[in-house]
Structure 1
């Protein structure tokens, strides 16, 4: 609930108010009595205390809109239930579990559900097993329950248990394929054993009485008659004797062409006495094909009647070649370097004794000395090899090496470079190469006099000779060592106000090409300064930007200036790479702060008085203290009261009134300029004031709730509306006679609308509060936004019907009777107009309506002789028509009871005595 917290006052400033017990405004209060206590403490630590209580009651049961759905679970019994697990006694759960995707329950409570529990009944039935689960929702005071049905049924197929049973065997004859001696033990998923069924026997054909197959198939059906397990036992009838072929043969021939098919061997018999002939499989050559020497094996195969039992017979030929080779004449030549003594390539092909072509293959080279590093001989050897791989002949070519070419030196890196004094110089060196020796860099002689601690120009030289004593042309490099001097700023430090700029310039020292600047904020807050600058020429400004300080204290920025000279490559690396850095120089700039506010937008009702604390805006923005303010409003001809002349002061307190409220909300803009304690001007900001004509109205007066249980407790609903500027905050000051819409209907006591209750905004600028009030009592309400208070009130009436013409007792012999209803307006100003009258004659013994009448007629006819003996109630519901302001035409009921007797009556017609 929301309420306005007490604020303490004191004759001296500096007091503070704090809540020490209870709940803060805007939080939920628990059921029961909560005491809110506030303590105001003066500047001298003296205190005063006030408190009030809030009572919250809960008299409404929780509501189960949807009970959890019926669940179908795969399993054997209650132990398979999850989400939550089976419990025969009440067990705790949660609303999240009650309403999740599995249970899908929906429940609610006006004060919130505090606990969820469940209890499961004893399981019943078989396939499925049924469990009734009772869910209970509680709000800590009241509870409600509902039942959920859970069905448990297994769906998995039965299976073999206790280890596998053999399912196959092999026999020699079909007569041996009898029913299997051992059957499997089969159970359903819940552990129930299934008896063995009668098997189905399937026979395959047995061609030639040699092989075949017989299958015994058993189909097990589970107890739910929904799943099966199939088990089969298979016999294989197979001929298993072998074959014995004749002994294999062999011979030797000179040529592959002579290794021809030798023809089939003689027939044999199998173990059963059947004749078996050999069929040609083919020949196998090793290598394949045989081009010089090798073997050719011819294979014939005997196959038994089963098509799988075989035995092979072979005849093997051996092919063997012999002959010699004659190579060409060997050759010689002279070259300058060993690298030129390369492979001369193979000599021409020759033919062997059988006329086949034979090519030479490189064997390798032989160097003298080995290796030849400068001068010597290299012999290359090629070899002819006959097809048998053993008969060979060699051919050679011999080179003589004579070296007479000088080497060459190549400089690494630049021939001229610049380095910084004090740096470490690492010479890039040079490389040396020789046409014959290749890389001879390790033989270089380097003379390096460079001293980086002394500025000056140095020459580095490089020399080398090859293995034959040939000298290379000398190569050299020039190295310059330099030292840049420090910069000279036009001032060592500077101070100015926020938004100001620096005037300091920087002059370069000797041997400097440019300078870099890095800025570091060492105190306070600032923006607009340049954190890093590179490659600045001499005479440049230290800081090119305007610097702002909105932090409330002086900001100090330290600038570090570093000069540098372009490095040995002559390229500008912005002070990095190989650039030479000079000594650093530090300059400080102090920026005085400025007060800064933020643009504001404030709504106000016409006739309201502004109270805008300008220093409070500065404080809220968090940017310092202003010593003074200057402000003025832009003129708006549709508003009176704004001060358009420049005004000094920290409070805007104009009273603003709309000239013509019909023109809609108007805007007055104040421009404020603060000045800091240090004399620095701050940035101007604006305060936009939206002035609107505020009014309160009732948008649905006297809406009947038709909930009366007596002639005086019927209720009406109404919505109070305030039209004002958007973004405002309206709350109730007092609302006697107005009750919360959440209140229960009669006869329960309604809940009052408390002071401080907020009105809801929507759409912008429209604030509403819905409530109830009671027949003939009415209500009044005052609301405020802190500067304007608005009020309204209303009283509405139910009609007041009355019933006449009924006696307390009737005899069954009494004749026809007439009951009459009439109604007056609730304020007694006259008769109420009828829209409809419903008469209902109710037998009290079973609360049955035995007769009824609906229409505009105000009389009801009945005959006691048509009624059974007993007690009756005549209930009349009077629905009035709209009779104008305050009389919307509500439903109001009135009833009277009487007795009908069959015995104990006096003279007829009976007068009830």
Structure 2
């Protein structure tokens, strides 16, 4: 017998009537003169084929699959549809090697509607998801009408599996915990999401902890695995270094398997911070003497746009350049780029000479180069051209790679020859003439 009812047992009731053959002593199959006894009934209960289904309670649209994270318990339940109200059998469990927290055992028979796994599951794998696979077998009680927990004469239905994916604890690692950039630059620190590799990470907070920094992205926002912590350029509007602190949170996508930007059911890992120091851009101006106003450098073969600031000195003198700096700790870096027409008409410097000087405080300063005297080779006025570049150097250590560079200016020192007078000799004059 089979029962096509999908949810409950049905019965076949047989009425039994004994009889004798009666006066004609012929078996008339209970008819004719056969003598009928008292009827009684026999009831046969026919169980339907055992059936059960997994119930999607995490809204991921996959009844037989679920993802858990942050040490949570699965929410998938088993609905026994035939026979409704019966227990179900956990006929097998396959557990990933790094998963702990499983409380079900093979042979367990949870009640209809129970969780497939009530335990909190964790995954110690440092890089990937692992799974727990539960084999579920529905069953009915069989001929003895006794629940034998899926054994004995219990009737077993078709097994199916429920797969629980267990995410590991989210982990991410920055390429550096701090860096120094110049105003107008973007941070270069990247974040490598190691668990789960390829997931986004969350920038949960951005705080200016010193200085006056603008331009940073407003939290909360997410960045892709391997990207820099902020795509924007940061600007230091002050006169000293400032620091922006970014709080980074790795996360996995949680039970619904969707990237909710680190919120909702996403599982957040341990936050960490990254500091970005933003140094200001230095600026510097050089003053000219009165003779240098609107003077064109006609004997220097270099494109300087015609007019540059400058100072005049006499042949055989040392020079001084008056400067003004806008912030503390500016290192002036200088270089000789041209001397006269052929780069050899003035002695004391040669093309390519360079050096630096640190001005610890903002304000007015005097740059004297190396302090040597400039000598004209001939008696013709000549120019020596310098490039002057300001660099922000807060630690006072030259050439250590952390200097922010301002705009280079060109400055001319014009060397005038010493005037000479020659007088004609001899001759006689009369008195009072």
Please classify the TM superposition score into its range, dividing by the shorter chain length.
0.3 to 0.5
Which structure features the higher share of strand residues? Answer: 1
TM-score (norm 2): 0.41
Tell which structure's C-alpha radius of gyration is larger: 1
